[in-house]
Amino acid sequence: MLERLDKILSNYGGLSRSDAKTAVKSGRVKINDSIVKDPSIKVKDTDEVTLDGKKLTLTRYRYYMLNKPKGYISSTEPEPGDESPNVIGLFKAEGVKGLFPVGRLDKDTTGLLLITNDGELGHRLTVPGKHVDKTYIAKVKGVLNESAVEAFLKGFEFKDFVSAPAKLEITDSGTVEDGVEFSTARVTIHEGKFHQVKRMFARVGCEVVELKRITMGNIRLDEGLKPGEYKELKPEELDALNME
Ligand code: URA
């Protein structure tokens, strides 16, 4: 982390940005025991910052991209009767407190899941009305054709919402495996309602048998990550997501 001192003071010292600048200029702030008077100076993770002699705890926010494996739950609440492991358990070695998934994927869904300890970001991305396009690869039981593409584009009326136009790109249709027809497609949706993709395919008579998320806004799953593996993202990599 390399952040401006005035930003650090407002994030961790409870000061407004202008009070932070004044506090620095009036000599109330020290970095590693030396008074600093430049509010724009960059602070490192390892620096000790004090305000009026009191040490600030700099909790660094972390952002990870996880390739979620099958069989893991991503809800923040325990699911009664389901002892399956939670995705957060995959991050034990990081020793970071307060990690949580941004949004959720079903237990049998794989792919891109953002994990962070930045509650504000998590909130901003999941508040109702906040929409970030998400792309999934789906394998479904059944045959997909042009009428499904049109239906996805038109939107479906569900009891809890009406889906915005979604882009369905069929990549394979009607391949027979053990006497059963399967199709594969890429689908981009706008909202993120409970079981949304599965419910949309059900409307065109298809059952989703495999589902993998590959993008969220401008963030694309790094295909080099095996299921269960993750990598840290820089805050700038998430900025695009924030701005949408
Ligand atoms: N839509 C679904 O049906 N399931 C998911 O996990 C994500 C989107």
112 lines ligand 1 (CB under 6 A): no
Q: What pTM was estimated for this model as a whole?
A: 0.79
Q: Which residue has the tokens 């202008």?
A: 18
Q: DSSP string spanning the chain?
A: -EEEHHHHHHHHS---HHHHHHHHHTT-EEETTEE---TT-EEETT--EEETTEEP------EEEEEEPTT-B--SS--TT--PPBGGGGGGGG--TT-EESS---TTEEEEEEEES-HHHHHHHHSTT----EEEEEEEES---HHHHHHHHH--B-SS-BPPP-EEEEEEEEEEETTEEEEEEEEEES---TTHHHHHHHHTT-EEEEEEEEEETTEE--TTSPTT-EEE--HHHHHHHHH-
Considering 55, 75, 91, which residue would you say is the last residue of a domain? 55
Task: Select which of 82, 106, 160, 172 is catalytic.
Answer: 106
Domain CATH number, residue 202: 3.30.70.1560
Which residue minimizes the CA distance to atom 3 of ligand 1?
Answer: 195
pLDDT digits (tens, 9 = 90+) for 82-119: 889 999 999 988 878 889 999 899 999 999 999 998 88
Which is more confidently placed, 78 or 80?
Answer: 80
Whether residue 190 sits in one domain with residue 120: no
197 lines ligand 1 (CB under 6 A): yes
Whether residue 237 sits in one domain with residue 125: yes
Residue 11 has pLDDT above 50, yes or no: yes
> If pLDDT is split at 50, 70 and 90, which confidence band does 242 have?
low
For residues 12-18, average pLDDT: 84
Considering 17, 39, 55, which residue would you say is the last residue of a domain? 55
Whether residue 152 sits in one domain with residue 107: no
Domain CATH number, residue 19: 3.10.290.10
Q: How far is CA 114 from CA 5, 93, 135, 186, 221, in A?
A: 28, 17, 14, 20, 10
Instruction: Give distance in angstroms: CA of 123 to centre of ligand 1.
Output: 19
Whether residue 70 sits in one domain with residue 86: yes
Whether residue 118 sits in one domain with residue 233: yes
Whether residue 235 sits in one domain with residue 205: no
Whether residue 236 sits in one domain with residue 180: no
To the query of whether residue 106 is one of the catalytic residues in this protein, the response is: yes
**Judging by beta carbons within 10 Å of its beta carbon (0-12, 13-18, 19+), is residue 243 exposed, middle or buried?**
exposed
Number of domains observed in the structure of the chain: 3
Whether residue 120 sits in one domain with residue 236: yes
Which is more confidently placed, 61 or 134?
Answer: 134
Residue 186 has pLDDT above 90, yes or no: yes
Whether residue 229 sits in one domain with residue 204: no
Residue 1 has pLDDT above 70, yes or no: no
Whether residue 201 sits in one domain with residue 150: yes
> If pLDDT is split at 50, 70 and 90, which confidence band does 210 have?
very high
Q: How far apart are CA 213 and CA 166, in angstroms?
A: 15
> If pLDDT is split at 50, 70 and 90, which confidence band does 244 have?
very low
CB 5 within 8 A of CB 38: yes
Which residue segment(s) compose the domain that 114 sits in?
63-129+222-242
Domain CATH number, residue 96: 3.30.70.580
Whether residue 170 sits in one domain with residue 118: no
Whether residue 212 sits in one domain with residue 138: yes
Chain mean pLDDT for the chain? 91
